[in-house]
Structure 1
C-alpha cells in the first residue's frame, strides 16, 4: 500500500486527483497546510450556515465536552437535548409535537420511513408502499437509497433496495403529470410520500414551484398518505425561509432536519413527527415501541452546538443576512446570464445553479475537470455533473462572493476553449 490509508467518500482514488489538506477555517474561508486560502462556496457540503469555527458554537461545544460528553439516550436524558427539543418546538410548525434524535440526514429519513410504516402497522392497516419523486436523493443508507433515484449512486446495491412508486419531477409546464401520478399512488394506498421541498439537491439542484408543493401536500392529505418533508438540505434558511415548506404554506406529517441544525459544526439530526404518528406507537405493549437508535443518539456535545445555533437564529439578524445573500446571488446570476456558454440559470433563496454544455449525468467528465480548475484557483465548488451550483455560508462577504463568480467566469472560459 502506498499513500494515505484513507478511503474518501465520492472519490475515485484510481484517478489520483489531488486531495488538499485543510488546516483551519474561519467564516467562509478554508486555509490549507500549504498556505492557500480557499473560499468555501458550497458550505462544505451544504452544512455550514453561519460560518466555520463560529465562536458561539465552538464555545458551546468546548463547555459541554468538559461537563458531559456522552450518555446513553435510551431511558436516560440530559438538559442539552431537552432544551433543544423545546427550542425546536418553539420555531417549527405547531403540529410537529415530537422530536426524535439521530445523527445524520440519511438516518433522519430512515427514521421517518420507519415511523410511517409503524404508524400504519399499529393502526392495523396494510399500507406499505412508499411514493417518491423522480431524481430525488435522501441519503446512502439502504432505506434512503431505496427512496432515492436509481442509477449511478446505488447500482451495485440494487439487490438490497425495496420497490417504490416513482412520481415524475414537476418540470415547468408538466406539473399535472406529477400531480396525477401522485394522486394515483395515494389512491392506491401509499403509506407515505417523501420529497425534497422546492429543490432536489444531489439530483442537480432541480427546482419546482411552491404551488406544486402545496398541491402535492393536499393530495396526500386527501388520501391519508403521510407527507414526509426531507428538509435536510433545504432547511435552515437555504431557500430564503427557515423551511422551504413555509413558502407553500405546507406542514408535513414528518419533518427531517440535519446539516444546519448545529450550524454545520458537528453531526446531528432530528425527525419531528405529528402527534398521531407518535400516538400510534404509544402503548403499554413494549412490542409497539419505536425500535430505532444509535449509540450517539442526542449526543450532549452535538445538542449543545445545536442550542448555540438556535440562539444565533433568535438573537442575530440571520434572515437579514440571508436576504442580502439572495440579492447578491440574483445579481451575479443576472451577469452570468449574458454568457452563451451557460443554460438553465436558476435560484431558490441562497442556492444558485446553472448548467454548462449538454454533458449531463453525475459522471460527466466535465465535473472533475471544472472542480480541479476551481480548486487550483482557490474556490471550493463541486459540480453535479454539468451543473455548477453556489451555496455559500450566510456570512460570506461581497468580496468573497465576487471572487467565487470571477473564478467561475475564468473556468468557463477555460472549459469552453
Structure 2
C-alpha cells in the first residue's frame, strides 16, 4: 500500500462520526455552532433531484440558492470542465490571458445590454458588488471629487461582505451586527408600484427629491432591477428603471444594476434590465453564470466608466483576486452560456411563471395567513403575514420530498429551468398544503411561525 492509498484508507470514517464532527465544528451559513440548524446529508444530485444519505430524493425547488439554473450533473457542463481540467486548471490573470476568459468576455459583451463593453471577472456575487462600488468611487474621483456615498432602495440585498452589506437594507437583519463598522449609506423607499401595476410618475419622487438635494455626495445608485431577491422577493414596475436611468444621467450618478440573482433568464428576459430597455453604467453578474458548477462573477461597465477610472489618481482599477478568471470556472460559464442561448431559456421561464401563478394564486383566499401571491419568470412567491420558522418549515418540505428554504415571511419556489411540470407541481402542492394547514390553525403546524 503506497502513501496515497494509506491516506485514502483513513478517509473511511463512518457517517455517524462525520455527522458528529460536522455538527460540532463545521460552520454552515446563518447558524451558530452552539445551537446549529439541523442539516441534511446530500450524497449526490442529478437534474432537479438531491439524493440524501438515507436514500430519499428531494426535488430542489430553489436551484441551490438560485445558482443551479440548469439543474445538477448536466453532461454539457461536466464535459466543459473536464476538457479544461486537462489543459489549464488555473493561472494568475495579471499579465496573462487565456482563451476561456477571453471567449467568455466576448460572449457576454454580445449578450448584455448595448454599451456594456468591458468585463471584469471576479470570484463571487458579493465580490462583484464590492468591485462595482470601487469602480464608481474611482470614476467619481476623476469626474466629481468628493462623491463617496452610495444611494439605494430599502428592501435590497447585495451580499455579505462589508461594502455590500452597507447597501443592503439595514432592517433586513443581514447587517445589523455590523452597523458600527460598515460605511453609512443613504436609503430611499423602494419602488412603490408592483410589476404589473399601473405606472404613476409620482413613484419617482423619492429618487428625484433625494438626488436634487444630495447628488453632490452620491457616487452611485445601486439596485436590483425589477426583482429584489433576499430582501423579500418583491417585483416592481420596469418603468422605475427607465426613469431612474434618466435621473442618474442628469446628475452624473453612476447607475449600478445588480443582476446576480436576476440575470440569465430568471425573470423571463435574459437580463432583468431588458424589461425596461435600459443600459446601466455598471452591471454585476453571478450565480447562474456558471450554472452553479463553481464560483465566478463578472462586472460589466460602459466605456464612460472605464475611461473615467483611467483618469482617476491611481489610473488603474485597484482590484485583483487571486482566482480571477479561473479557467475551470470560465469553461463552466461558457458551457452555461451555450445552454442559455440554445435552449430558449426565456420560453422555459415564461412557462414556469404560468405554472407557478396558476398553482399558487388562489392562496390569497387564505386571508388570515397570506398577504400576497406573485410570480415572475421562474420565481413564485407566497408572502405571509407572519415570519416563518425556517427549521420547522424546511422539515415539513423535506418530509414531502421537496427542498425549499423559506425566510422571513416568504415562502418561495425558485426552480432550475429544466424542472418538469410534474416536479414543479409537487413543489406547488407542498406549499399549498402547508399554507392551508397554517390558515386552518392546525396545532401541529403553528410552530412553523416564529414567535
Aligned residue for 1:11? 31
Q: CA deviation at 1:374?
A: 1.3
Q: Which has the larger radius of gyration?
A: 2
Measured in 2, the distance between the counterparts of 1:45 and 1:365 equals: 18
Measured in 2, the distance between the counterparts of 1:231 and 1:132 equals: 15
Q: CA deviation at 1:65?
A: 1.2
1:43-122 alignment runs, 5 A limit: 43-122=63-142
Measured in 1, the distance between the counterparts of 2:176 and 2:83 equals: 44
Aligned residue for 2:426? 403
Query: Is the 8 Å Cα contact of residues 51 and 57 (structure 2) preserved in structure 1?
Result: yes
**Alignment equivalent of 1:375, drawn from 388, 391, 398:** 398
Aligned residue for 1:282? 310
Aligned residue for 1:327? 354
Pairing 1:366–2:393 present: no
- Runs of 5+ in structure 2 lacking a partner? 1-16, 194-199, 443-451
CA spacing shift, 1:370–1:185, aligned 2, 3 Å: farther
Q: Which has the higher contact order (CA 8 A, sep 6+)?
A: 1
Aligned residue for 2:185? 164
Q: CA deviation at 1:375?
A: 2.2
Measured in 2, the distance between the counterparts of 1:124 and 1:170 equals: 27
Measured in 2, the distance between the counterparts of 1:387 and 1:180 equals: 31
Q: CA deviation at 1:124?
A: 5.7
Deviations 1:192-238 (A, max 9, x none): 00000111111111221111121112111111111000000011111
Pairing 1:302–2:329 present: yes
Measured in 2, the distance between the counterparts of 1:166 and 1:17 equals: 32
Pairing 1:242–2:288 present: no
Q: Give the count of matched residue pairs.
A: 411
Q: CA deviation at 1:147?
A: 1.0
Deviations 1:132-185 (A, max 9, x none): 111211001111011111142122222221111111112238724433344336
Query: Is the 8 Å Cα contact of residues 182 and 216 (structure 1) preserved in structure 2?
Result: no
With the length of structure 2 as denominator, give the TM-score of the two structures: 0.87
Measured in 2, the distance between the counterparts of 1:181 and 1:121 equals: 24
Measured in 2, the distance between the counterparts of 1:84 and 1:353 equals: 33
Q: CA deviation at 1:372?
A: 2.2
Deviations 1:246-270 (A, max 9, x none): 1011110000000000112111000
Pairing 1:142–2:170 present: no
Deviations 1:38-94 (A, max 9, x none): 111111101111111111011101111121000000111100000001100111122
Measured in 2, the distance between the counterparts of 1:316 and 1:412 equals: 34
Moved more, 36-45 or 163-172: 163-172
Q: CA deviation at 1:352?
A: 1.1
Query: Is the 8 Å Cα contact of residues 179 and 215 (structure 1) preserved in structure 2?
Result: no
Q: CA deviation at 1:365?
A: 4.9
